[in-house]
Amino acid sequence: MLQTINDVLLGVVSSGLSRYLDHRTSNALHEGLRMTGVATVNLRTQPGSRVIPIQVNENRLRSRMGNKFGVMLLPNFYHKGGNDPLEYLKRAKAMVDKKKHSLEAYFSYKIQKLAMSLLGQKYAGMLCYKLLCNTTFMISNVAGPLEQITLAGNPVSSIKVNVSSLPQAIIMHMLSYVDKVEMQIQVAKDIIPDPEFVAKCFEDALLEMKEVVLRTNKE
């Protein structure tokens, strides 16, 4: 079964969050507790910010610039410790495959655009913020440069990206650069006081998945 980077990323997040809750929650949580995430999806035919010429008439062209993205809701469920780490990966793949065949991201973009046109940016912003307030985490995965770049003659060794002032408890951004992938984690300290431990849970989940896959291939 072919897995993508996004499948692995969501599997690691699901497994890592379950590990974190197992260690940090004094009261027993019920199996299948839902934590909903938000993922942004680029809706351009080609990734990246570029000018797209649109034919208006035979003599005039106008250009569309800026972002064009929608969002998808990612239901993530708590599972008690002891599960096969690859089960998280299988569940993540099944969810992502279903989302890819839906029009969720496209309709979210159209609804936001319609709200902006009819009600203005204030109410469109309120609509977007309301969506974020009812989710637990945000996640994104961006493909960066495949070759090393320089800035004013200085080689760039690493690229990191993050945002602030969002209402979720945890925000995760993954960015690839050359042959390296890094994830940045931002948390609300009043909800998650130990972000280093969260990062360790994600790391352990990834290493355990890798170990199981290697052992399975040898067998």
**CATH at 59:** 3.30.559
Out of 4-8, 42-46, 181-185, pick the least confident: 42-46
Burial string for 77-95 (b: 16+ CB within 10 Å, else e) reads: bbbeeeeebbebbebbbeb
CA distance to 13, 110, 115, 211, per residue, from 22 (Å): 14, 39, 41, 21
Cα gap 39→138, rounded to integer Å: 6
Please tell me the predicted confidence (pLDDT) of residue 201: 92
DSSP category for residue 134: T
Residue 45 φ then ψ, to 5°: -70, -30
Using alpha carbons only, give the angle 144, 174, 139 rounded to the nearest 5 degrees: 130
Average pLDDT over residues 152-173: 87
Rounded to a whole number of angstroms, the distance between the first and last alpha carbons of the chain is 17
38 has a pLDDT exceeding 60: yes
Q: Amino acid identity, residue 26?
A: S
Confidence of residue 63 (pLDDT cuts 50, 70, 90): very low
**DSSP 8-state code for residue 82:** T
**pTM score, two decimals?**
0.80
Number of domains within the chain: 1
Average pLDDT over residues 137-142: 88
**At a CB cut-off of 8 Å and minimum separation 6, what does 75 contact?**
34, 36, 37, 95
Are 37 and 136 in contact by the 8 Å Cβ rule? The answer is yes
Please give the average per-residue pLDDT across 10-36, as a whole number: 84
Residue 208 amino acid letter: E
Q: Which two tokens stand for residue 12?
A: 């690691």
- What is the distance between the alpha carbons of residues 208 and 181, in angstroms, rounded to a whole number? 18
* CB distance 43 to 106 below 8 Å: yes
- The rounded distance, in Å, linking the Cα atoms of 77 and 88 is 10
Segments forming the whole domain that contains residue 134: 5-218
